[in-house]
Amino acid sequence: MNEQILNYAGAPTKFIEVEGIRYAYRSLGKQSDIPIVCLQHFTGTLDNWDPIVINGLAKERRVITIDNRGIGNSDGVTPDNVQDMTRDAIKIITALGVSKCDLLGFSLGGFIAQNIAVERPDLLRKIILVGTAPQGTKALYSFPKLVEKAAQLNNPMESYLFMFATKSEKSRAKLGATLRRLMERKRDRDKETSIPAIQEQVKALTRWGTDPVTVKLSEIRQPVLIIQGSNDEMMNSASSLELFNQITNAVLSYSPDAAHGSFFQYPEMFVEQANFFLNTFE
């Protein structure tokens, strides 16, 4: 692996096979003992990470982005529940030869990160949870309705802004800039996530809200950084305060006039917070 790549745009898509399934991933960044593994949001692929975020992390550590089962260029059938997605993510991480890592879990990826933290604490050093919520969050009941609304807009930019920005011009402009950054990579792009895979993800997300709580956050002993915007309708911004209250050693940061895509709206601030947290916080 060429660890000298510091720019996400220059990180080629690679593949690793586990139990007969081929998974797509990218790896870049400064050589570090502990890499950070990035777990993506609903529908998102390797191409949905803001390069400012990935490059900012990669300056100080190895960064690995993965497509979970059935997402983007990864083969297999996407599971309809977070528990199976968790198992797949653990398999990929282990297959990549990683015995201890940090996690960045965004939204659905944050559900998986919480789950890994409880099921395989030995695998984790520190955890960053962005725009996510604990199991049993009622706001998720209306997730299918939000997805339907976004689809009805029938305009990729407007759907993106609907999911990630607030209604303010400032927030919309910032997330518009994010979306343009996501499109800068021209070659070796990931496949868009298929409709069937998206349908399974919707089930998994909704179930995270309705299932009985099995993921006991009070068991998490790792330092956790929780990042959220003031107005995340999808997860309910208050969910991050619940995460903070339940996790023993967590830092919580809210940013203003920001919705589900808060860390893409303030990517430089996120990089600053994340690198300090990963380098220094105990």
Which spans of this chain sit near its own copies (rule: CB under 8 A)? Answer: 230, 241, 244-245, 247-257, 268-269, 272-273, 276, 280-281
Q: Are 28 and 5 in contact (CB under 8 A)?
A: yes
Q: How far is the CB of 117 from its own copies (least distance, A)?
A: 15
- Measured distance CA(34)–CA(182) in Å, rounded: 26
Q: How far is the CB of 64 from its own copies (least distance, A)?
A: 25
Identity of the residue, 80 or 257, whose beta carbon is nearer to its own copies in the bound complex? 257
Q: How far is the CB of 230 from its own copies (least distance, A)?
A: 7
Identity of the residue, 213 or 238, whose beta carbon is nearer to its own copies in the bound complex? 238
Q: How far is the CB of 20 from its own copies (least distance, A)?
A: 42
Q: Using N-to-C axis directions, what is the helix angle for 267-280 and 51-58, rounded to 10°?
A: 30
Identity of the residue, 13 or 237, whose beta carbon is nearer to its own copies in the bound complex? 237
Q: How far is the CB of 257 from its own copies (least distance, A)?
A: 7
Q: Which of 199, 194, 201 is nearest to 85 (CA)?
A: 201
Identity of the residue, 78 or 262, whose beta carbon is nearer to its own copies in the bound complex? 262
CA dihedral 36, 37, 42, 48 (to 10 degrees): 70
Joined together, the tokens standing for residue 211 give: 């299932």
Identity of the residue, 2 or 280, whose beta carbon is nearer to its own copies in the bound complex? 280
Q: How far is the CB of 227 from its own copies (least distance, A)?
A: 10
> In b/e form, how buried is each residue of 265-281, taking b as 16+ CB within 10 angstroms?
bbbeebbebbeebbeee
> In b/e form, how buried is each residue of 205-214, taking b as 16+ CB within 10 angstroms?
bbbbbeeeee
Identity of the residue, 37 or 247, whose beta carbon is nearer to its own copies in the bound complex? 247
Cα–Cα distances (Å) from 242 to 110, 208, 210, 228, 282, in that order, read 14, 15, 16, 12, 21
> In b/e form, how buried is each residue of 133-153, taking b as 16+ CB within 10 angstroms?
bbbbbebbeebeebbeebeee
Identity of the residue, 144 or 256, whose beta carbon is nearer to its own copies in the bound complex? 256
Q: How far is the CB of 1 from its own copies (least distance, A)?
A: 31
